[in-house]
Amino acid sequence: MGSDFVAEVAARSALVLGVDPRPRLHPGREPLVHLERYALDLMEALGPRLAAVKFQYAFFEALGLDGIALLDHLIAAARVLGLPVIHDAKRGDIGTTAAAYARATLERWPGSALTVNPYLGEDALEPFFRSAERTGGSVFVLVKTSNPGSADFQDLEVDARPLYAHVAGRVAGWAAKYPARGWSRVGAVVGGTHPDALRALREVMPESLFLVPGLGVQGASPQPGKGLLWSASRSIFYPDGKPDLPAALSRAESYLRALAG
């Protein structure tokens, strides 16, 4: 089976590098070649200082077959560098389709993690949980996301509690069924732009690793905490809106200092 995602990230830092490629920002006739080289250089330079690398699938899929090939190359390179991988694809569909999504990500890349959407309920998530258990992977369930519009549905009151609190309660139940190395294979996505919710949800889901987006451009402030994996994408990958390796390393270093307390 190879590596185990939970064991690997639990032994590393709290910073996740998000890769959201934008070819228009890369110079020359072959922007994807430059983009790939830049991503490889950044992953290699940060190396063991990262908890994981998170690949946002939409940006690769938007580039067609060339983008899918680039995604495969970068995931393979991350694994060669010993970096845990998070597939940020937010999958969620009926059971048979969910099983196919799981084969395409968790089973194709053993020891990796995948973000999933809980809107279709438990039967649509079970294929992901079972694949994670078989392959040494992990699943991050969307609970309270970092975008402002998350309040439209996630904050709706149901029995005097916000809907996201009910989702968190279910995640805690699923997490208890899939223990892994002192944590669980079932984690949660909780936006760092909601610090009060972040603290409250840790009490509800004590066994789950949290993937915490929003660091950087969205304005979240890094806070140390057990089991928190803080994700920064544009603010590291494209500091000041462009590819700049020294500036990217400097930005990552500043986040690492803050997360170390």
- Residue-wise DSSP of 49-84: G-SEEEEEHHHHHTTHHHHHHHHHHHHHHHHHTT--
Strands 186-190, 210-212: parallel, antiparallel or unpaired by DSSP? parallel
Q: Give residue 1's pLDDT.
A: 45
The closest alpha carbon to 228, from 204, 197, 175, 192, belongs to: 192
Q: Give residue 217's pLDDT.
A: 79
Q: CB of 222 within 8 A of CB of 260? A: no
**CA pair distance 245, 164, nearest whole angstrom:** 38
Q: Give residue 26's pLDDT.
A: 96
Local structure of 112: helix, strand or coil: coil
- Show the low-confidence residues of the chain (pLDDT under 50): 1
Q: For residue 15, what are its two tokens?
A: 């910073």
Q: Give residue 248's pLDDT.
A: 97
Q: Give residue 223's pLDDT.
A: 87
Catalytic residue list? 90
Q: CB of 129 within 8 A of CB of 21? A: no
Q: For residue 112, what are its two tokens?
A: 């990796």
pLDDT tens per residue, range 96-153: 999 999 999 999 999 999 999 999 999 999 999 999 999 999 999 999 999 999 999 9
**For the chain, give me the number of helices (H) and strands (E)?**
11, 12
Q: Give residue 221's pLDDT.
A: 87
**Architecture of the domain made up of 5-259:** Alpha-Beta Barrel (3.20)
Q: CB of 57 within 8 A of CB of 87? A: yes
Q: For residue 43, what are its two tokens?
A: 């992953």
Question: Which residue matches tokens 């909780």?
Answer: 190
